[in-house]
Structure 1
Amino acid sequence: MNKILAASAVLTGALLLSACGSTGAGTPSSAPTVAPAAAGGSAQATSAPSSAAAAPEAAQSSRGNLVKAVGEPASQTYNGETVATFVAAAIEPAAGCTAQFASAPKNGQIVVATFNVETTAALSKTISKNFSLNMFGWKAVAGNGTTVNGNPVAIMCLDSAEQLPSTMGPGEKATGKIAFDVPAGAGTLVYTAPGAPAGWEWSYGK
């Protein structure tokens, strides 16, 4: 697990975050991005060149994250090239665990999100040459705005056959689930790449 964390941190710390607003998977339109930090500096938010046909910028939450709906793609880029696109295909509140020795939720309920993930050949140009969405970089925010303590990912909840692969290489596709232990009621799931100033978020519940 430490190896996965280290690889993810190295890759995503250098990745640019972008909103994918195109109708074709893995082909983002003009959207806000986060540029990599120069030596001794900090990352700065930049915008792609505008045009008359450019899609409107994605909505941002009060936390500064790009707000995504179920079925809406998000993507990570490296040196201006898309390396991975991921879509929350479904988000199920009050879901049940499927692993044989799963424990009851500590925070109130289990929310299960199904993701479709696709990487591109450009992932091979990154330092780690892999992509991970399965474990690190997640947090949950309850409906009253309180951030859940600790990592909300419920590691032992789902049967291994259902889980999203822990890492993916260039030119791969996968569909899998991630379970989250969160407070009862509505809330928000937030994913931020390590070292990035902002990420993406998905609402769940009513």
Structure 2
Amino acid sequence: MTEIRQHRPLARAKTLPAWSLLAAGAVTGGLLGAGYGLAKPPTYTATSYVIAVPTDKADSSTALGFAQAYGRVATQLAVLGDAQVWAGVPVKTLQSSVQTATSPDAPMVAVTATSSRADLAADMANAVSRSLTVHANDSKDSTHVALQTFARAIKPAGPSSASASVTGLVGASAGGLLGGLLLLVRPRRTTEETGRPASVPSPATAADVL
């Protein structure tokens, strides 16, 4: 009797309809994803742009090369040390929140900052761009390339992070996929578990075999 009782939950699980695992996985994943989206604070992103301009003693290719170099040094301590004063945040915050990007075709540097505050994201991007411009123009007599502000970062109107509805949809998709995988590995019912008697060969069949 004990052995039979222990196998009853497994038998019930095997008799569940196929769609129940998919539905349960999708609902559970959707709830978890939506909860994560609601619990995580929103993230705001702001980007400013600076452009390298050649002087009379340089050309566009020289400006392009220096733009690549300025993009690499924009997040160095020499630049962030001055930027922290204008942004009002520590250097460590700038190091973890500011990224730069350059283009192989245009002498431009994009400075992007992320923060849980929309105004702070714009302030950090503008502060790093300003500090980079000052440092670059201090040596423009030797580099023959000046750095100028192309576009200031503005306060973002909305968060750049995914909303709760998006994370909920992602969670539902992942949960449904997991339910489908469990459905594939679920043991199939045997004739003994379904209560159907095992087939017995007929006398004619047995005679044919002999």
Q: Common fold, TM-score beyond 0.5?
A: no
**TM class, shorter-length:** under 0.3
Q: Return the structure number with greater helix share.
A: 2
TM-score by length of 1: 0.26
Tell me which structure has the larger Cα radius of gyration. Answer: 2
Greater fraction strand: 1
- The alignment's TM-score, normalised by the length of structure 2, stands at 0.25
